[in-house]
Amino acid sequence: MNAPLRLGTRRSPLATTQARIVADLVTERTGRSVELVPVTTYGDTSREALAAIGGSGVFVGALREALLAGEVDAAVHSLKDLPTADAEGISLAAVPAREDARDALVARDGLTLGELPAGARIGTCSPRRAAQLRALGLGLEVVDVRGNIDTRLALVTDGALDAVVLARAGLARLGRLEAVTEVIDPLQMLPAPGQGALAVECRTNDTATAELLAGLDDAVTRLAVAAERTVLAALEAGCSAPVGAFGVAADGEHELELYLRAVVIAVDGSASIRLSATGPLEHAVRIGRDLAADLLAEGAADLMWERVP
């Protein structure tokens, strides 16, 4: 009998839930039992703002170290947390089917974004969300917050904040959708590249584990997020930059088409560049690269690194 697959995960309730989702898929599709191995990452222990500690990779490094050291056989990440550069010795073995990628508002008294009064305090740890909130021109006070989902929800129920913005996918996976007062239209707030998707990594030289995990892969999700992450990589932006990208696949006349939208926005919300591109889903990476080039031609590099006065 095969030993259980050792699956590395962060210790947070959401990360553990996501790892359990992957574990159940492995067992359901291959019959292999799975053991979750909790790993503490720097992003979990630091209380600094994500932008201050580097953003990209702070939740990933320790899991990758455990993987390379042979302490785990595979690791589960929120795909939006993965750096866009390849990691030596590590392969992206599977990208399971994506959850709803949109952002969600949790506000007091059941309010929507448009119903929050001017001066309302709204919390987020994401520069991307903060910038897009400021760009709406609603007069909201954006407050930087950290902590797991329940900690941030409590800021609203306890009255410390009027609202928080979170990924709908995380709320869904934790069974907290009843708290959502509005699912935010991507026309108002584009998600982070890869938001709502999971990434399962293994060692590149571990072909047996790679083959085991391959059955979890959803080709449409993998290509859509590849296009989004190509935008991020080509802009040379990390996951803490004010960049949103969202790819949706739909039936075209002869094949699946990808509709990709992206935004680069000044942190103070004073200016933004929003562009879109469409093409065959199989050309997802090229579509992302071309869209990033168009954004840069419009001045995206200058916007990304402006700071709130």
How many Å apart are CA 25 and CA 67, to the nearest integer?
A: 20
Distance, CA of 145 to CA of 106 (rounded, Å): 14
Residue 141's beta-bridge partner residues? 121
Check 24, 73, 81, 217 and give the catalytic one.
Answer: 81
How is residue 135 annotated by DSSP? H
Q: Which two tokens stand for residue 216?
A: 């979890």
Count of other CB atoms within 10 angstroms of residue 305:
11
* Helical segments of 110-218, H only: 127-135, 149-157, 168-173, 207-214
Contact 186, 128 (CB under 8 A): no
Q: Which residues does residue 105 pair with via DSSP β-bridges, in sequence order?
A: 165, 182
C-alpha span between 65 and 46 (Å, rounded): 18
Handedness of CA 196, 202, 204, 210 (dihedral sign): negative
The answer to whether 218 is a known catalytic residue is no
φ/ψ (deg, to 5) at 112 = -95, 175
Tell me the CA distances in angstroms from 134 to 96, 121, 128, 139, one per residue in order: 33, 12, 10, 7
Q: What Å distances lie between residue 214 and 56, 67, 103, CA to CA? A: 25, 18, 29
CA distance 104 to 171: 9
The two three-digit tokens of residue 188, written as one number: 């108002």
Q: Of the candidates 37, 157, 14, which has an alpha carbon nearest to the alpha carbon of residue 99?
A: 14
- Active-site positions read 81
